[in-house]
Amino acid sequence: MMLDLTQLNILLYKQPGAHDFSLPFTQVGDVPIIKSANAATIMLYVMTANGPTAEELFTIQQAAKKMPVILALRHINGPIDLDMVLPANVTLTSADDAILLEDALFDGYLRVVRAFFRAKMMMYAKKALLPYKEKVEKIWRTKNAEQQAEQYTLTFLTQDLRPILHRVAEQLLMPLSPKIAFFEEQDEQNLSFETFTQNIANFFKQLRGTEELTEEKSGRLKNFFDKTSHKARSIVNKSSFHVADAFEQYVLEQLRTNRDVADLIEEYIAQVKEAMLPVRARHAVNVAILGQTGVGKSSLINYLFNEPKRATGAGKPVTEQGFFEEKLVLNGIPVSLIDSWGIEQGKDQLWLADFKHFLETRGYKSAVSEWVHIAVYCISAASTRVQDFDLQVIDMLRAQKIHVIVALTKAALVSPQVVTELTATIHDATQKNVTVISVNSVAQKLMTGQMIEQQGLHEITAHIRVNYLEMLNERLPERIFYLAERKVAGEYRRRIEESPSSKEAVALAKQLSERFITQDLNVLIEREVHAAMTTYASTLDVTHPTRRAHRHKQSTNDWRIEALDIAFGKLEEAFRATILMQSPPQVGRKFQKEMLRYLEDNRQRIDAETRQTIARASAVIDKEER
């Protein structure tokens, strides 16, 4: 039975106390809700704020093995503290907020798409491995078979995998939305699967029994080696059939578990999310709050988000290593809080590696709503020193063009001189590229009778606005350029190559190049700036009480970005008469090459126009303050 990903089937269950609930919409994003077993299926369990009973929890756990489950709680009043551990495929949200509910259902839909994508990938991969496996089986000497299997593994991962992913994407994802466009595969592309290629040789050495596993190998790949080491050693000196089986098992296990493959899949899924994201999706400021164990990070989170209470109350795992994203409310404005697992002594480098990967997945290739917008890094003033590890994390954030606010927690426990010295140390190490704020998250009375009041909330929220705008000026031009390249290399080139004749392909290429320069590039800049500035407008609600009081009387869409009039000049003649002798695919490649050259030649102009558009939009929004 073929699953229809263009439709969504919601299995709705309700507790007796939530019997009056009904879905407030008929589609999630661009996906219509229907009753069909052939559609992408999600379970929606609506219940009171008390959460599920033991019997319901068992049902939820069983359902989560087959489909995403959304727990939607009604009549939330205060923080949610459920006496349960949510399975990985379960999301907690509010049934009373239509936007949060739609966001959660859309996230569940994407998980169905992702799972089906992986299943199809595994099916095609297993089929593609058969010729390699048969060749290994025909080799007489086991040692030669092992050496050949090692080479085939590398060949498959670096040459065969990407076309398989592209084929699956075209079959499954392209029908979902006309706005989805994939990069075309280029002959000169050399994919680097670092985790794969570094460990293939080790696996086959282990297969020969010449090298024991050491503790230096870490992560999921180490776990896989541990599980297979006994079996691998047991087939030493056996036939090439056993080597072929081990070769297939190794590759398929990598496709199931390896982070490099997950990243490749996310390149495609991210385009689905961007193209089909619900129009009403709430634009939130994404704030990462980080810090070593014991510096007061949890206290700062409670201080910042104490009033009003949390909107959903449960974190959603972002990576297996432990980064979490949670929808909260800061002074009435939605904020996506990004938290992480504790940074334990001896595991700091592992944390750094995983955090770097996390930041890269939230880079300019993702929609602005997915970025880490601001980072608040906590350093305890009571420790009276700044560690090298703290500076490493700050440098990593700055390398990704993320603005950093350093919160000197427990600042009232030390003298002003210590705070001044710590601030100077941080500024010297970062060339004053970070903001340092003294914070006291907990009001307390000292033994001396002195009262320590909370401080830092207003300073942090005010700097969120400023840093967000500065971050946009640094990062948004990169995204504009990336999207322009993607449109040329994906959607436009595909249309040209589908032309029935060379003559029509050339005519379409000229038409698209003219349209791209005079219209589409302008629209692209306007659209991305508009989305980013909608979030910026929300930050005014945080930092300006007067505007916040009138927030419900006016929409953030009351402002408009003026139509752009960019005169980049005419594109040089790219399609000469001789091109008529070429096929439509050759015309498409020529079009892509010339348009990418044009974009590169005008990179500074595109960057400048993007920043000017941001400035015009922010000026319009800022008038609402006065």
432 backbone dihedrals φ, ψ, rounded to 5°: 60, 30
Q: Which of 4, 16, 79 is nearest to 46 (CA)?
A: 16
Structure token digits, residue 127: 């089929």
Gap between the Cα atoms of 497 and 127, Å rounded: 28
Tens digits of residue pLDDT in 73-93: 887 665 555 556 677 788 888
pLDDT tens digits for range 578-619:
455 578 888 888 888 888 888 888 888 889 888 988 888 888
Q: Average per-residue pLDDT in the chain?
A: 78
CA-closest candidate to residue 592, choices 566, 567, 574: 574
The pLDDT value given to residue 204: 67
Tell me the β-bridge partners of 94: 73
> Omega before 308 cis (within 30°)?
yes
Q: Which of 109-118, 225-234, 530-539 has the highest mean pLDDT?
A: 109-118
- Least confidently predicted of 1-10, 182-191, 490-499, 598-607: 182-191
For the chain, what is the radius of gyration of the CA atoms? 27
| Contact in structure between 236 and 204 (CB atoms under 8 Å) | no
Neighbours of 546 (CB within 10 A): 10
pLDDT digits (tens, 9 = 90+) for 134-190: 998 888 777 788 888 888 888 888 888 888 998 999 899 989 988 787 765 544 344
> How many angstroms separate the CA atoms of 532 and 284, rounded?
10
209-259 per-position pLDDT tens digit = 543 434 444 454 455 445 554 444 444 445 788 888 888 988 898 888 887
Closest of 244, 113, 130, 107 to residue 174, by C-alpha: 113
How far apart are the C-alpha atoms of 545 and 555, rounded to whole Å? 16
Which DSSP state fits 289? Answer: E
- Predicted TM-score (pTM) above 0.85: no
Q: Under a CB-based contact definition with an 8 Å cutoff, are residues 591 and 493 in contact?
A: yes
